[in-house]
Every structure is written in structure tokens, then in C-alpha cells.
Structure 1
Amino acid sequence: MTRRVRLARAALATLLLVGALTPALSAGPTGSAAAAPRAGVPAPHGASSDSIRSREYWLDADGIRSAWTTTRGAGVTIAVIDTGIDGTVAELRGAVTGGTDFSGLGAANGQTPVGEDNGHATMVASLAAGRGTGSNSGVIGVAPEASLLSISVGFGAGARDSDAQIAEAVTWAVDHGAKVINMSLTRNTLDWPTSWDTAFLYAEDHDVVVVAAAGNRGSGTDEVGAPATMPGVLAVAGVTQSGVASGQASAQGITLGVAAPSENLVGVIPGGGYVLWDGTSGAAPIVAGVVALVRAAHPELKAPDVINRILATAHDKGPAGPDALYGHGIVDAAAAVRDDVPHVAANPLGDLHEWVRVNRRATPAPAPEGSITVPAPVDSTPVIAQPSDPVGVLLPSIPLLQLVGVPVLIVLLLLFALGGLVVGAVVQFRSLRRTG
């Protein structure tokens, strides 16, 4: 069964990863295999490390190499919530400084890859913060001096509830120093569980930028799903090597923040070796790396300003303003690090606190399983009609007093009384005439 087929079947699970492999450039630390020819990428035969580095076209196309003259991400920690990073491969040796497992399947330090597509996290990590294998060899990440936390989660047979895993993983990442969280996965639904409200609010309140992949049409995600639909999350779309929205390795949606390369990506796999791959699983860590560069260059900035820098300096591809294919445009690392960008008072991608206040307040708490809801008793005491008071209808109400004033009412009452006396006198006079 190919990895593409396995990913398609994984769409039936609650959460799925959003990257797809093409044939390996190298079968392992010592072996090699020829990759199938692709548009714009020659088929390698026993690809050398130098040819691996030369495939990272985004380093120049997206201003990353230029940004390195200012910063390479030192001092910033990126948490990778994924299948678990193999920190022993050459490009990631020393980069992974901590981790844990929430799947129930991995190692305590989170560095044992889990699941059927267990190479996914290592590929993601290499794009975010790979060190390379030399000055011009091996895969180098966008922020090659940033640190990584490996948080392993698992989906499918034997794993714990995936929604719970994600909520716990986000909270753990915040508590262990992450300033950026990368999530190259999708729930494949627009909505998310309330447990994610709590976890993502915790990240927001602790000044952490969450980056999430949009998903891929090629693996069944036509529309952006959570966590990329959540307010405040930096959702990443995918583009081709020529900078056009990817037809298969991206998804569309109004919550997109920016776009980054998602095709013809080269990544490191567990045990060593390289693969070409497609998917917003790769676009997301490119942007997460840019976030790390901005945070390293501007440590005084809070998360809303960091996100705003990335949005404001992106190259707009569609009509003016954000759109459902590119968000605010294609990320530009050099501009995000160096340009003058005005301060913002709030996250330009929305406020999760406000969303929760508006959208969760009317949601009734679920009744315990097996319980019976008893309706409130209705008062059956009959209502007794009160007799009308003929005097009461003559007395002015407070609104009437406010409307016409006390003096006018006195005059009216006097006229009414005088009229009564006149009528009485006339009746008495007529009575006297009939009897006189």
C-alpha cells in the first residue's frame, strides 16, 4: 500500500497528517534509490548531500537566506506536535532539547516516531530547524539555530483519544517554553472540541504563536479544517515552486493567514536519508521557522505583532487584501524580520476569547450519560380575576402625571367636578318642574 493511499484512508480518523511522500531520494543512511521524475525536478540517482541542499528553492525564493544575515533563530523554541522527531539523524542532532509522548505508544521523551506515517514529524522538524550536515550540505531548516520540542501524538489503533492528545500537547508545549507551536495536521472539520478552547486560550494567554497547516485537496481536505480555522491561529496554505496556489497540496478557506511552498519539498526521514514530499505539512514548518526568526530578531514583540509582521510583509497574490487561496500572500522572511511594521493592539487573525464568549455561551452542558431530564414544575394555582374598581380608573397614573403635569390635572378635575354639579343641577331643576 502506498503512503498516498494510506493517507487517504487516514481521512476516516478524527485527525490526519497533511503531507504526502514521493519516492525517496535516499533509501537510508547508506542506500540510495532513484526518484520518479517531476516537473522542474530532475530524477536523482544516488543523490549527494550537496544536491539535497540545492533542492531547497524556498531558501532564496522566500527571503530566508537573506534573513539569516540578521538572525538564524537562536533562543527560540519551536514545539512540533506530530508523530515524534527522530533526534538522532545528522540534521537534527542537538536540535531537539525536550519532548514527551501523549499517544501512549511512544517514548517518554517523545523522540520515538509513532504511527503508520511515523516519519512525518522528522520531515517537518527538518524544514523548521534542521542544521544541515555541513556548510552547504544536507537539509537546513528555516531557523537552523532554534530549538525543538518533540511532542508525539498518535492516531488510529492503540492510540488515545486524538482530541484529548492535542489539548494536552498544546498545554505541555506552553509550559515547557515553546514560543512557536507547529501543527501539521487537521481535524478535517471546521469546528473543534471545547477542550481545545481551553488549551489554545492557554497558548494565547502565554504569548505563543500557533502555526497550523491548511490541509490538502489531494488527501481529501478541500476546505480548511481545525486547528487552522481557530481564531488567532496562523493558518498556512500551499503554493507550487512557481508561486501559484497548489491544486493538490493545499486547501482553501477564509481563515488562511499566509502561503508557503508545499510542493517538491525535500525532508529528512527517521534513521537518515531524504524524501521529496508535497503538502501543507511542509508549508507550515517553513512559516513556523519564519515566526522563530521574527521572535529572535524582535524579542520584545508579543504574538499579535509577530503575526502581523508576517501578514503585512507577505507578497499579495490575489486581489487586494486576504483571499481564500493565499491568505495575505506568500511569506517573505527577510521582510518580516527587517521591515518597519506598525504595532497592532490585537491579533489580526482574531480573538479566541471573544469567539468562545459569543459561540459557547448558548451551548447547554451535556447531561450525564443515562440521566433523565426532569422538567421544572408548573404552578397550577388558578388565577382569580380581581373586580374592577370604578374609582381607580379615574385616578391618574404616574406616566399620565409626567405627561400633562399636576396643575393641568387639577384644572381638569375641577372642570370635571363642575360639570358634574351642573348636570346634577339640571336634573334637579327638571325634577322640580315635573313635581311643581
Structure 2
Amino acid sequence: MKRATAAGALSLTAVLLFQLAAPSPAHADEWRDKEYWLTDYGITEAWKKTQGEGVKVAVIDTGIDPSHPDLAGAVSGGTDVSGAGDPRGARGLGVNPEHGTLVATLLAGRGHTDSGSGDSEDSADSGDSADAKDSGDKDKEKYDGPGNGPDGIIGVAPKAELLSVSAWIGGSNPGGVPIDDQLPNAVRWAVDSGAKVINMSLGSSSTAWPESWDDAFLYAEQNDVVIVAAAGNRGVGMIQVGAPATIPGVLTVAGLDRQGKASWDSSSEGISIGVAAPAENLVGGLPNGPARYAEWSGTSAAAPLVSGVAALIRSAHPELSAAQVINRIITTAKDGGAPGRDTLYGYGIVDANAAVNANVPAVAANPLGTIEEWIRIHRRGEAPAAPESEPPAGPAVPDIPEPQVPVAAEPYLEEDPVPAALVLGFGGLILLVGTAGTIAVLRVRRSGRAVPEPGTEGPPEGGEREKAPAELV
């Protein structure tokens, strides 16, 4: 029952994790102009140092169409873990088969020249197609920018290699493999195939994850792989972040609107959020057909932007561990919302240029935690491990002197006007009270009336009561 519930929740949110606009057959260069995040978030500056060369990024999704003009040469391998897809992960699956290609183009799209836009079928005859191809080749020869040309979608890491892992996310899988088995199989295959970054633009409505996922995420952690996951979208009911974005060590990405503020519909909230990236008014490539572009929104689109940044870092700094890559991304992020880390922006808003080029001190462990420690405590019930080394010495603690034992002081022999006045004052008061009492007694005695002792009634034993003189009445 637990496995079935987890799978159903994951399927639902993965299906609704993005909002696809109606596709348009507009010319590809119009789509390049819409990629505002390239300049606004430091990506074009980061390209001056690296474009993701030599880094493999696995996209665990619904499958990638490698025939898209903007993905020419980008997909270097793939597999299917659903039992129902193309063996190379090259065909979209499930109720949203275009999802994987949209993600792939944002992450590592290479663009193209106009002749590869896929619109050649609209030409009047084959001669027009040949002329368009010749024109495109000339444009490509002149182009010296990133990727393969000035048109179409260019990703954050246009020279990174993609590994496509197709899974059946949403609906009933005709291949018969449950999602609880597909995802760990996908992670293991990606690690074994040389991925240094894994993108997971999918999520669950539950913060918990099946135990069957533990070993796979631990395997990725032990093999120094960065895993990036989408936080989910409030607009489809994901109020809080769900698994796999809640797994310790995973870099969880929240969504921003066009103004750089936390998106209401295209993001969610949670303590596991690491960083925020654009999630509204985005564009991406679609598989198959002449209309190959669309606008879309959601953290499904924000996650590959951050995965692309991770690829840029791993290309520019191949000596860095996965923990250090994540640390660079979150420590260079620009603070958003409440000061410090919060549940909407995490550590802040991603800054690709700073993440690649800033001077960031190295760390020994992933600041987002480790799945290894979590398994040991929560699955095995072991107590947290004691620190392996002594903590660094802090400021010196001042010596506290031994308490002083009071010593009796010698009598003060000289006159002190203040204490003398106090003593004299009290002496005068006592003398005054004594004198007043004496006068009162004499007056009573003159009156001829004896003062009985306390507790006595009548005259003293052996005599009569003395009569008081009349003048004293």
C-alpha cells in the first residue's frame, strides 16, 4: 500500500509539474530573443570561461527527442527504465511525452542556423529547400557565438553532453515497471554511464520517499554526482516540497517569476529548498513536427537551468567534488526574501557567473546534508555519529579567580561623623521613649491605681486594690 501511494503521488505531480502553452510555428530566432535568463542571471558572462565542455548530464524524464534541431550532437547516450520506451530513451512517454525534450533544450540546447528549423517542409519545392540549406551553412560559418547557431533555444550549458533516461511518469505504465523501481534504476544507470550531474524535473506530493530509493541516491552520493530536483508547483496543489527534492544532499530548485520574486503558481515552499531560478515565461523545444517550440512554466523548467550551472562549474573546475559544486551554487546565490536561508528562496537566487568565477572556500561535506547519514539514523535507528575531530579552538576563556574568604576587619578607632550621628540619633530616640514611659508610670501611680500584671484579674493576692487619687482621673 505504501509503495502504491508513493508511486501514484509522484505520477500526478510529474504530469502537472509544468504548464505548456500552445506551440507556435514562429521562426526560431524569435525564441532565442525570449531567453531573458541568459543575461539576467549571469549565464552569458559565465560562458566566457566555460560552456559545459566535457561534462555529462543525465536527464531522468519522459525521454528526449535527439532529432530536434537544437539538440543536434547534444545527446550522447540513453536508456529506458520503464520497459515501454525506446532503448535509447529517444521517444517521449506517458501523458506528457514532450516534457523531457523541453527540459533538455533549456539545459543543453545548442541552437542552430535557420536551415535546421524544421520548416523546410513549408518550402515551395526542393530547390527552395536547397537554397535555404546553402544560406544556413553560410550563416553557420559566420556564427562565432555559443552553440551551433544564432537561432532556436540555447541551454545554460550548450557544450555539455546529455544522457536521456526515459521513464513512464503518469498514468498506467504498459511496461509494467512501477515508478518506485524506475527511478532508482534510472539513477544507477546514470551514475554508471558517467553522469556528473543528474536532473530530475519531477516530484511527489509526499515529503517521504520509498525505501527502494535509498541505495540508489546513496550510490550517486558515493560516486560524487550532483543531483538537482524540482521543488514542485503550488498552482497544481504542491504547497510543500515533495520527494525526491526532500532527500538530503539533493539540490532543490524553487521558482521565480519574471521580476525575480518567488513565484506563486510555479513554485512551492519547504526547508529543503537550496536555490531559486526562473520558472515563469520560459521557452523550450518540443519533439516531432514543424511547430517545435513552446512557452512553459514551472520548477520543471527552473531545475535544468540550475543543472546547467552545475555542469558549467564541473567543466571549469573539474577538481571540485559534488559537495563543493553545490556549495558554490548556494553560497554565491543572491539573497532573496527574508535575510539568510528561507523556505521560499533557499539560500537565494542563482547567479551563474558568480558560481563559476567567484573565490569560494572549499568545504569537506555537502551543506545540504547526506543520504548516508540519514539512512544510518532513520532506517537503521543508530545514534548520530560523534565528531571525528576536535572542534576548532574558540576564543580563550578568561581565568576566573578563586573566591575570596571574608576576613574580619579591625575595629575602626577614629571618629566618623556619619556613623556617630546615626548612633546619637538612635540614642536620643531611646532616651526620649524611656523618659516618656517613666512620666506615664508616675502619673498612674499618683492616681492611686496599680498597673496589673499581664494575665491577672482583681487585686494582688494578700491585699486590696489601691484607690486612685481623684486628680489623676
The normalised TM-score by structure 2 is 0.69
| Alignment partner of 1:137 is 2:151 | yes
| Alignment partner of 1:49 is 2:28 | yes
Deviations 1:278-310 (A, max 9, x none): 100000000000000000000000001000000
Conserved in 2, the CA contact under 8 Å of 1:18 and 1:184?
A: no
| Alignment partner of 1:121 is 2:138 | no
The within-5 A match list for 1:66-85 is 66-85=45-64
Q: Which has the larger radius of gyration?
A: 2
The 3 A distance-change label for structure 1 pair 92 and 324 is same
> Take 1:23 and 1:310, find their aligned partners in 2: how far apart are those partners?
30
| Alignment partner of 1:337 is 2:381 | no
| Alignment partner of 1:322 is 2:301 | no
> Take 2:316 and 2:18, find their aligned partners in 1: how far apart are those partners?
33
The one-letter code matched in structure 1 to 2:56 is: T
Between the two proteins, the alignment pairs up a number of residues equal to 335
The within-5 A match list for 1:3-82 is 13=11, 16-17=14-15, 19-26=17-24, 32=25, 47-82=26-61
Percent identity between the two aligned chains: 56
Conserved in 2, the CA contact under 8 Å of 1:18 and 1:280?
A: no
The within-5 A match list for 1:12-411 is 13=11, 16-17=14-15, 19-26=17-24, 32=25, 47-134=26-113, 135-155=149-169, 156-157=171-172, 158-159=174-175, 160-271=177-288, 273-362=292-381
Structure 2, unaligned runs of 5 or more: 1-7, 114-148, 383-473
Conserved in 2, the CA contact under 8 Å of 1:197 and 1:356?
A: yes
Instruction: Name the SS for the 2:102 alignment partner.
Output: helix
Conserved in 1, the CA contact under 8 Å of 2:282 and 2:295?
A: yes
The one-letter code matched in structure 1 to 2:110 is: R
Conserved in 2, the CA contact under 8 Å of 1:71 and 1:296?
A: yes
Conserved in 2, the CA contact under 8 Å of 1:17 and 1:184?
A: no
> 1:151 Cα deviation (Å)?
0.2
Conserved in 1, the CA contact under 8 Å of 2:76 and 2:162?
A: yes
Instruction: Name the SS for the 2:152 alignment partner.
Output: coil
The 3 A distance-change label for structure 1 pair 73 and 13 is closer
The one-letter code matched in structure 2 to 1:109 is: R
The 3 A distance-change label for structure 1 pair 200 and 12 is closer
> 1:14 Cα deviation (Å)?
6.4
Deviations 1:205-240 (A, max 9, x none): 000000000000112211000010010000000001
The normalised TM-score by structure 1 is 0.75
The one-letter code matched in structure 1 to 2:358 is: D
Instruction: Name the SS for the 2:112 alignment partner.
Output: coil
The one-letter code matched in structure 2 to 1:143 is: A
> Take 1:319 and 1:235, find their aligned partners in 2: how far apart are those partners?
18
Instruction: Name the SS for the 2:60 alignment partner.
Output: strand
Structure 1, unaligned runs of 5 or more: 1-9, 27-31, 33-46, 364-436
The one-letter code matched in structure 2 to 1:259 is: A
> Take 2:16 and 2:54, find their aligned partners in 1: how far apart are those partners?
28
> Take 2:337 and 2:19, find their aligned partners in 1: how far apart are those partners?
29
> Take 2:65 and 2:72, find their aligned partners in 1: how far apart are those partners?
9
> 1:13 Cα deviation (Å)?
3.7
The one-letter code matched in structure 1 to 2:344 is: L
> 1:243 Cα deviation (Å)?
0.2
> Take 1:16 and 1:293, find their aligned partners in 2: how far apart are those partners?
26
Conserved in 2, the CA contact under 8 Å of 1:19 and 1:120?
A: no
CA-atom RMSD in angstroms: 1.5
> Take 1:296 and 1:343, find their aligned partners in 2: how far apart are those partners?
17
